[in-house]
């Protein structure tokens, strides 16, 4: 499937892209001492944070739009090739253990599939049809969200996916590290992380990759906060799947509900490891079935469920 946008991308002089330019500070990089190299990297790695801070309006808009889609049954997909794809897969794979989300709620798609996580397959980023097939294999639909990650903005695999998703009517968000006047991207929300030329010319796994990782952290975490996966600053929907997470769950019960360790263990066992259920039982002094009913009635938002339980107790 070919889109007109491909022809526009083919006319872009990649040598002129911001991500491909030579960094004047590292012009004689191979002559630097170790200390000089470390200082240069430390100085340049402040740029990703600056780049993210300059995109707060677009980031806010993307998060609000993604939240609305997920709240109404949609899913979030990241798509990219090479480093960009790996970052998307990393962020998506951390959602189930951190927020106890279903594995398909946040998904990362990388050109070449799982094999590309360990092996180079950058040649696949030039395939115009591969990303469409990958999205179709996931039953991608109009309800879903697609975040296309392409540092230089010219990755065919990503651009085709964005055009396909936009045509379906799905939400599209693009993340790139080049100015709009250099490359036009088809998306509802266009985020430009302008981190500047890399220390190692063209190696976008450096500043561009760092800025992208920061942004994906913000997107997934803030969306989950808005979905009620967090209470205060505690991850109350974490998956209690090992000793470390069990200890964290017990600390959360202690910090939030002043529950002793043994009582915390009893609550977690009773609720099949649900921190949120356990907290509501402890705070509202209710049984498990009532806690689950209140959470369901309040969209799994613990704060709202606690408020409703207090109202019930005050108005028997």
* Domains of the chain: residue spans and CATH: 4-226 (3.40.50.10490), 243-314 (1.10.8.1080)
pLDDT tens digits for range 271-280? 999 999 999 9
pLDDT tens digits for range 124-169? 778 888 999 999 999 999 999 999 999 999 999 999 999 999 999 9
Question: 20, 58, 125, 198: which is the annotated catalytic residue?
Answer: 125
Question: 8, 94, 122, 263: which is the annotated catalytic residue?
Answer: 94
> At residue 112, does pLDDT exceed 50?
yes
CA distances (Å), origin 29, targets 41, 79, 172, 201: 11, 33, 39, 10
198 is catalytic: no
Least confident among 11-15, 29-33, 205-209, 286-290: 11-15
Report the pLDDT value the prediction gives residue 316, as an integer from 0 to 100.
Answer: 55
263 is catalytic: no
What is the sign, positive or negative, of the torsion defined by CA atoms of 45, 196, 90, 58?
positive
> At residue 5, does pLDDT exceed 90?
no
């Amino acid at each position: 499937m070919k889109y007109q946008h491909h022809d526009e991308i083919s006319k872009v002089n990649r040598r002129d892209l911001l991500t491909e330019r030579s960094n004047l500070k590292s012009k004689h990089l191979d002559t630097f001492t170790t200390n000089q190299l470390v200082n240069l990297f430390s100085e340049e790695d402040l740029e990703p944070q600056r780049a993210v801070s300059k995109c707060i309006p677009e980031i806010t808009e993307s998060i609000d739009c993604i939240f609305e889609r997920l709240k109404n049954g949609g899913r979030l997909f990241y798509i990219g090739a090479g480093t960009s794809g790996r970052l998307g897969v990393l962020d998506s794979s951390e959602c189930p253990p951190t927020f106890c989300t279903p594995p398909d709620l946040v998904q990362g798609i990388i050109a070449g599939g799982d094999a590309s996580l360990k092996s180079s397959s950058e040649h696949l980023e030039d395939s115009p049809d591969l990303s469409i097939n990958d999205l179709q294999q996931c039953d991608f639909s109009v309800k879903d969200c697609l975040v296309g990650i392409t540092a230089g903005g010219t990755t065919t695999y990503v651009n085709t996916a964005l055009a396909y998703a936009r045509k379906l009517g799905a939400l599209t968000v693009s993340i790139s590290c080049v100015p709009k006047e250099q490359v036009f991207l088809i998306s509802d929300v266009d985020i430009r992380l302008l981190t500047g030329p890399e220390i190692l010319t063209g190696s976008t796994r450096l500043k561009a990759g760092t800025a992208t990782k920061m942004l994906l952290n913000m997107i997934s975490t803030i969306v989950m906060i808005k979905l009620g996966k967090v209470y205060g600053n505690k991850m109350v929907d974490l998956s209690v799947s090992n000793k470390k997470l069990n200890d964290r769950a017990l600390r959360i019960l202690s910090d939030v509900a002043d529950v002793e360790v043994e009582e915390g263990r009893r609550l977690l066992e009773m609720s099949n490891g649900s921190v949120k259920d356990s907290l509501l039982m402890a705070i509202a002094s209710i049984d498990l079935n009532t806690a689950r009913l209140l959470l369901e009635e309040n969209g799994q938002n613990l704060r709202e469920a606690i408020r409703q339980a207090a109202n019930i107790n005050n108005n028997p």
